[in-house]
Amino acid sequence: MFRVLFALTIVLHFTAPAPADEATEKLAKELVGMVRDPRLGVRERVEAARTLGKLGPQAALVVPDLIAQLRRLRGAELEPLQEAVVETLASIGSASRVALPTLALLPDRSLDIEQAAKRATSDILTASDTRDLKSLMQQLASRDAGTRLRAAKALGELKRDAVPALAALNIALADGDADVRRAALVAVRRIQPDARPTKEMIQAYVIDFADPDDGVRLLAVRGLGRLGPAAKDAIPEVEKLLADPDRDVRKAAADALTRLAGG
């Protein structure tokens, strides 16, 4: 049993996300059947739930089954399975919003289950179909940094299909949260890998020159250097790093100056 689930996990890990097809639906039904089967050991049922979670949104059709199972699970010995089902609902994403009332009203839940339910609720509420550009662009303007971060990453995954979101991502390049700013920068580069860098992109790198972390400054100046002469307006800022306290940053700055000058 575990060998089968392990094999499924490997296949799912290296398979690109795609709309659910007949084979995927069959697999989801088989896995949820294992989750529900009391004849199996708890460990096997937990593994089945986790493998099901790897299907993500493609497992949306079994959400009602998972909700029904969650309502039936009782007792400390079944707590690992209860937690695995909660996490699977979170992995499925927005299709699990119908499970929110159940997650909020789980009876006799332990602290671990309560925390898992809170995390799942947050993930489900902020989940979006990665093909829904309008929704993702709206999320980029959210007050919550985590939501903005997930939206920027999702847009980057869409690559050229996210071209309509470039204006919103350019605004995110000046985000006050460093992680959001860097995710937006990666997204822009993935969406238009051959495009001439904008001033917003260049500035996003330059902002990190002031980061107290040596590693962040190093990556920023290396990234800027790779833009070549198109980013030559940043030469004065790069020159300041020649006096950086970190030797690697100083060396990277010198190399970047050569690249920016067209050498």
Which of 126, 146, 179 represents a domain boundary (last residue)? 126
Q: Contact, 35 vs 51, CB < 8 A? A: no
Pair 112, 142 in one domain: no
Is the backbone of residue 197 left (phi > 0), alpha (psi -120 to 50) or beta? beta
pLDDT at 24: 80
Residue in 30, 91, 40 with CA at minimum distance from that of residue 65: 30
pLDDT at 18: 39
pLDDT at 76: 87
pLDDT digits (tens, 9 = 90+) for 131-141: 568 878 888 98
Pair 64, 140 in one domain: no
* Range of the structural domain that residue 55 is part of: 2-126
**Nearest-angstrom CA–CA distance, 33 and 31:** 5
pLDDT at 142: 87
| Residue stretches of the chain with pLDDT short of 70 | 1-21, 128-132, 263
Which of 126, 150, 165 represents a domain boundary (last residue)? 126
Pair 7, 118 in one domain: yes
DSSP states along 56-111: GGGGGGGHHHHHHHHHH--SGGGHHHHHHHHHHHHHH-GGGGGGHHHHHT-TT--H
Integer angstrom CA distances of residue 211 from 89, 147, 219, 236: 38, 23, 11, 17
pLDDT at 123: 86
pLDDT at 106: 83
Pair 78, 39 in one domain: yes
Pair 122, 151 in one domain: no
Which of 126, 144, 165 represents a domain boundary (last residue)? 126
Pair 213, 234 in one domain: yes
Count structural domains, the chain.
2
Pair 117, 138 in one domain: no
pLDDT digits (tens, 9 = 90+) for 116-164: 999 999 888 877 554 568 878 888 988 888 888 888 988 888 888 899 9
Pair 138, 235 in one domain: yes
pLDDT at 129: 53
3-state secondary structure of 45: helix
Radius of gyration of the chain (CA): 23
Token pair listed for 241: 């790093």
